[in-house]
C-alpha cells in the first residue's frame, strides 16, 4: 500500500519569494507521483506528474518538482510566488493500479 | 486538457430523499471513473472506482447501498446518495481516467451536497 505525507498544512510566503511544498511518499513499487491544485469550491487541476522519466518535472504555472528516490520525496517548488498561487495543493501517489492516494493537503497563502 | 463535468454543482435536499450526481467526460472515453468525498479543509477520500459496464468497487467503510454508482457508458457515471442524512453533506468530486495508471485522472469541478 502506498501513502503520502505532506509536511505543513499551511504555508505562507511573500509575493515573489520561493514556494516550497513538501511531499514524502511510501510505496512498495516504483510510484507515479502527482501534484494537484484546488481553488475554493472547485475540483482538482493537475500541476505536474512523475511517471519514471526525468526526475525533474516541470508543470504548469511555473511549478516544478523533483523526484528523489533516496529521500522518497517529491517536493513542489516555484521560484517566485504570485498572488494567484494561493490555493490548496495536494500531492498524490499511484502504485500502478490507477487509484490515487492523496496527502492531506497544504494551504498556500501569499502575503502581498 | 480533457474536460470532466459534474451536475449539479450544488444541491440542497431534505433528509430522507435521494440525490443523483452525474459525472461526464466530455471529450474522451473514460474507462474508469472515481468518486471522492472531501470534507471541509480535508483531503479527498476515495469512495469507489467504477468501470464501464461492471459493478463499482467500493473502498472499505463505504456503504454500497447508501452510495449507488452506475457507470452506464464510457462517458457517464452517476452517484446516487440514497436516503440522505445531514452527515452525508459534503463535497463530492469525480474523476475520469483512461485506464492507464501512469496517465492523469481528470477531475470534475465537484458537487456540494447539503442535506437539511
Q: B36 with B45: CB under 8 angstroms?
A: yes
Residues in chain B closer than 8 A to A29 (CB atoms):
none
B44 touching A, CB under 8 A? yes
pLDDT at residue number B27: 85
Identify the DSSP state of A41.
T
State mean pLDDT over B14-22: 97
CA separation for the pair B30, A35 (Å, rounded): 21
B69 vs B105, which has greater pLDDT?
A: B69
Inter-chain CB proximity A43 and B46 less than 8 Å: no
Q: Cell numbers for A87, please give them.
A: 490555493
B112 touching A, CB under 8 A? yes
Q: B82 with B88: CB under 8 angstroms?
A: no
CA separation for the pair A83, B87 (Å, rounded): 35
Instruction: Choose from A14-23, A30-39, B97-106 the range with maximum mean pLDDT.
Output: A14-23
B46 touching A, CB under 8 A? yes
Q: By CB neighbour count within 10 A (0-12 exposed, 13-18 middle, 19+ buried), where does B53 fall?
A: exposed
Q: What average pLDDT is seen over chain A?
A: 91
CA separation for the pair A36, B106 (Å, rounded): 10
Q: Cell numbers for A102, please give them.
A: 492523496
Q: Cell numbers for A39, please give them.
A: 481553488
Nearest CA in chain B to A43: B109
Alpha carbon distance, N-terminus to C-terminus of chain B: 37
B2 touching A, CB under 8 A? no
pLDDT at residue number A85: 96
Inter-chain CB proximity A94 and B101 less than 8 Å: yes
pLDDT at residue number A40: 83
CA separation for the pair A14, A31 (Å, rounded): 33
> pLDDT by residue (tens digit) across A54-83?
889 999 999 999 999 999 999 999 999 999
Interface test with A, best of B101, B109, B110, B111 (most A CBs within 10 A): B101
Residues in chain A closer than 8 A to B112 (CB atoms):
41
Give B40-75 as a DSSP string: TTS-EEEEEEEETTSPPEEPTT--TTTEEEEEEETT
What is the number of other CB atoms lying within 10 angstroms of the CB of residue B77? 30
Could you tell me how many CB contacts below 8 A there are between chain A and chain B? 58
> pLDDT by residue (tens digit) across B25-84?
998 888 889 999 998 878 889 999 998 888 899 999 999 999 999 988 889 999 999 999
Identify the DSSP state of A69.
G
Nearest to A98 among B4, B42, B101 (CB): B101
Inter-chain CB proximity B97 and A32 less than 8 Å: no
Q: Cell numbers for A55, please give them.
A: 526526475
State mean pLDDT over A92-109: 87
Q: How confident is the model at residue B100 (pLDDT cuts 50, 70, 90)?
A: low
Q: A102 with B44: CB under 8 angstroms?
A: yes
CA separation for the pair B110, B7 (Å, rounded): 8
Q: How far is B18 from chain A (nearest CA, A)?
A: 22
Amino acid at each position: 500500500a502506498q501513502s503520502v505525507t505532506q509536511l505543513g498544512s499551511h504555508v505562507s510566503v511573500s509575493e515573489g519569494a520561493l514556494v516550497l511544498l513538501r511531499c514524502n511518499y511510501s510505496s512498495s513499487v516504483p510510484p507515479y507521483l502527482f501534484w494537484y491544485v484546488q481553488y475554493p469550491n472547485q475540483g482538482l487541476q493537475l500541476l505536474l506528474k512523475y511517471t519514471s522519466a526525468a526526475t525533474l518535472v516541470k508543470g504548469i504555472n511555473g511549478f516544478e518538482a523533483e523526484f528523489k528516490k533516496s529521500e522518497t520525496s517529491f517536493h513542489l517548488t516555484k521560484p517566485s510566488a504570485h498572488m494567484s498561487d494561493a490555493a490548496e495543493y495536494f500531492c498524490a501517489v499511484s502504485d500502478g493500479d490507477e487509484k490515487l492516494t492523496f496527502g492531506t493537503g497544504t494551504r498556500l497563502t501569499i502575503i502581498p | 486538457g480533457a474536460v470532466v463535468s459534474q451536475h449539479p454543482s450544488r444541491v440542497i435536499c431534505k433528509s430522507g430523499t435521494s440525490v443523483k450526481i452525474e459525472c461526464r467526460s466530455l471529450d474522451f472515453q473514460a474507462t474508469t471513473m472515481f468518486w471522492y468525498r472531501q470534507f471541509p479543509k480535508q483531503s479527498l477520500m476515495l469512495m469507489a472506482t467504477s468501470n464501464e459496464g461492471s459493478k463499482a468497487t467500493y473502498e472499505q467503510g463505504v456503504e454500497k447501498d447508501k452510495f449507488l454508482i452506475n457507470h452506464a457508458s464510457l462517458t457517464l457515471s452517476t452517484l446516487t446518495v440514497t436516503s440522505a442524512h445531514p452527515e452525508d453533506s459534503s463535497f463530492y468530486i469525480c474523476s475520469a481516467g483512461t485506464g492507464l495508471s501512469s496517465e492523469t485522472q481528470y477531475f470534475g469541478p465537484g458537487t456540494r451536497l447539503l442535506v437539511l
